[in-house]
Amino acid sequence: MGTARGFGVDIGGSGIKGCPVDLDGGVLAEERMRIPTPHPSTPDAVADAVAEIVEKFGWTGPVGVTLPCVVKEGTAHTAANIDKSWIGTDAQTLFAERLGRDRGEVCVLNDADAAGMAEMSVGTGVGRSSGLVVVLTFGTGIGSAMFIDGKLIPNTEFGHIEVDGHDAETQAAASVKDNLELTYPEWAPRVSRYIQALESFLWPDLIIAGGGVSKKAHKWLPLLEARTPVVAAALKNDAGIVGAASAAVTSGDV
């Protein structure tokens, strides 16, 4: 018997990346392809990039696609770090038409929800079937996924809570660290302040920190001051691809 495989595409503010996924192992099955996110990142331009990635691998099965948006029944309702024309777009139908598939063969979900699902099923969250777990992805913005007793509560937007009068991700996203050329010791207090604000109305049992910056977790996680244990994501920046591929094969719409 062959290994179960799926295909995931993760759309971010700076890059779109995707490839086949080994669903049993929760790892990328081939070297991923990455395309810079088009500017402007309109639905048509992004759909073209997604099609280019899927066609590069000759993939013919179901496809999972993440968006940095609140997604309900395949339609985008917000647009964080992506063109505002996504709001109200039936993304599931758009991608299905561009990929030459039936609508039911394409699953579209929030990017942080996809990353969180992957971490909970094959990553750091394995075995965490009770309590409250929050997955935070630090990238262009801050994405979030919340799990209660292992069950996803979809479309949380904890990256947009107000911290000291500002939208949280404008203060503590990884892109802020890069744009302001902050060192990890300079950036970590911003992340601490964000997590403390989150803790003012949530009592998580665990926070899993993901996104590309999780590759350097040892440089900043030990510097955080928080009530909740904060641990690094195991799948790092591949979590969105893995989660999207799994969702496309197992659950259809999320």
Question: Tokens 């309702």 belong to which residue?
Answer: 77
C-alpha–C-alpha distance, residues 100 and 47, integer Å: 12
Question: How many other CB atoms are found less than 10 A from the CB of residue 3?
Answer: 10
Q: Which residues pair with 134 in a beta bridge?
A: 146, 207
C-alpha–C-alpha distance, residues 9 and 21, integer Å: 10
10-residue stretch averages of pLDDT, the chain, 254 residues long? 85 95 95 97 98 97 97 96 96 98 96 97 94 96 97 97 96 97 98 98 97 94 98 94 95 46
C-alpha–C-alpha distance, residues 64 and 247, integer Å: 6
pTM of the model: 0.95
C-alpha–C-alpha distance, residues 37 and 74, integer Å: 20
C-alpha–C-alpha distance, residues 236 and 252, integer Å: 24
**DSSP per position, 97-155:** HHHT--GGGEEEEEHHHHHHHHHHHHSTTTT--SSEEEEEEESSSEEEEEEETTEEE--
Q: Which residues pair with 144 in a beta bridge?
A: 136
C-alpha–C-alpha distance, residues 30 and 233, integer Å: 21
Q: Which helix (H) or strand (E) is 49 found in, with range?
A: helix 43-56
Q: Which residues contact 251 (CB under 8 A, 6 or more apart)?
A: 107
pLDDT the model gives residue 212: 87
pLDDT tens for 182-238 read 999 999 999 999 999 999 999 999 999 999 899 999 999 999 999 999 999 999 889
pLDDT the model gives residue 2: 59
Q: Where are the beta strands (DSSP E) in 50-92?
A: 63-67, 71-72, 75-76
Both tokens of 215, joined, read 């590759």
Both tokens of 110, joined, read 């929030």
